[in-house]
Amino acid sequence: MAKRKDGKETRRKLLDTACEVFAEKGFQAAKVTEICRRAGVNVAAVSYYFGDKESLYTSAWRQTVEDFLSSDIPPPEDLPPEERLFITIRSIIRKILSIDTDKGYFRRLEMMEMANPTGLVDNAWKELIGPRQQKLLKIIRDIMGPAASENAVRLCGMSIINQCRGYILMQKNRLAFLESEELTPEKADQIIEHISRFSIAGIKGVCNS
C-alpha cells in the first residue's frame, strides 16, 4: 500500500472517528485536535475534507442517523394497530439500546443535542426522522378511532416517544429505576413488552372519558 491512500480511506476514517468523539462528548466539548489524533490524520484534514468543525459534525450526524435507520423495517400495514405499535416500539427501543447493529452513537448524539442544541442538525432531522413520527401517529389514530381529537393523538405520541427516549439517557441515569446498570437482551425485551402494554392501555384509557 502506498503512503498516500486513495483519499476515501482517510476521509472515512476521519468521519468514523468524528462520530465516535462527538457521541462521547458532544459538539462543543469534542476537540478537532482529539478527533484527528485518534483518527491518525493531520488536523488540517478536517478543513480539507469537510471545511470546518461544524460541517464535520453535520456529516457525522447524518452518517450516524443513516446507519441507524438503515435497518428499520416498517410494520406491515395489514396487521392490527396494536401489533404495529408493538413492532414500532420494539424497533425504537432496540435501536436506542443498541441491541442490533450500531454502536449507540445515535442515542448519544441525540442526547447531546437535546442537552446542548447546536441547531446544526435540524434540517437533517426533519428530513430523516420526521416521516417516522407521522407513521407512529397514524398507528395511534388507528387505535383511538375516528372520534379522537388530533390533540389527544399527539399527546399519546409524546407519551410513547418520551417513554422510549428516556432510555437514551439510561446508562448514565442516576434515577436508576432499573436495578442493574447492565443491559441484557432479556431486560430489553422486558422494557419493550412493558412500554407496549403500558401505552396501549394508556391510549385506550384516555379515549374513555
Partner DNA sequence: AATGAATGAGCCTTCATTCAT
Partner DNA sequence: GATGAATGAAGGCTCATTCAT
Task: Give the footprint of a second copy on this chain (CB under 8 A).
Answer: 25-26, 28-29, 111-112, 114-117, 122, 125-126, 129, 133, 137, 150-152, 154-159, 161-167, 169, 172-175, 177-179, 190-191, 194-195, 197-206, 209
Return the one option of a second copy, DNA, none that residue 202 interacts with (CB less than 5 to 8 A, by type).
a second copy
Return the one option of DNA, a second copy, none that residue 159 interacts with (CB less than 5 to 8 A, by type).
a second copy
With contacts defined by CB under 7 A, name the span among 1-9, 58-66, 138-146, 157-165 that binds DNA.
Answer: 1-9
Task: In angstroms, give the least distance from the CB of 131 to a second copy.
Answer: 13
* Of the candidates 48, 51, 47, 58, the residue with the CA atom closest to the CA atom of residue 18: 58
Query: What whole-number distance in Å separates Cα of residue 114 and Cα of residue 27?
Result: 12
* Of the candidates 110, 12, 24, the residue with the CA atom closest to the CA atom of residue 69: 110
The end-to-end CA distance of the chain, in Å, is 71
Give, for 91, the enclosing helix (H) or strand (E). helix 81-96
Cβ atoms of residues 32 and 39 within 8 Å: no
For DNA, which residue of 22, 26, 38, 51 counts as binding (CB under 7 A)?
51
Residue 121 or 139: which CB sits closer to DNA?
121
Residue 43 or 158: which CB sits closer to DNA?
43
With contacts defined by CB under 7 A, name the span among 33-41, 155-163, 177-185, 186-194 that binds DNA.
Answer: 33-41
> Per rule CB under 7 A, is residue 83 in the interface with DNA?
no
**Which residues touch 143 (CB under 8 Å, ≥6 apart)?**
81, 82, 85, 200, 203, 204
Residue 48 or 198: which CB sits closer to DNA?
48
Return the one option of DNA, a second copy, none that residue 32 interacts with (CB less than 5 to 8 A, by type).
DNA
* Of the candidates 68, 72, 73, the residue with the CA atom closest to the CA atom of residue 23: 68
Total Cβ atoms within 10 A of residue 131: 11
Return the one option of DNA, a second copy, none that residue 186 interacts with (CB less than 5 to 8 A, by type).
none
Angle between helices 122-144 and 53-70 (to 10 degrees): 30
Interface positions with DNA (CB under 7 A): 2-11, 30-34, 41-49, 51-54
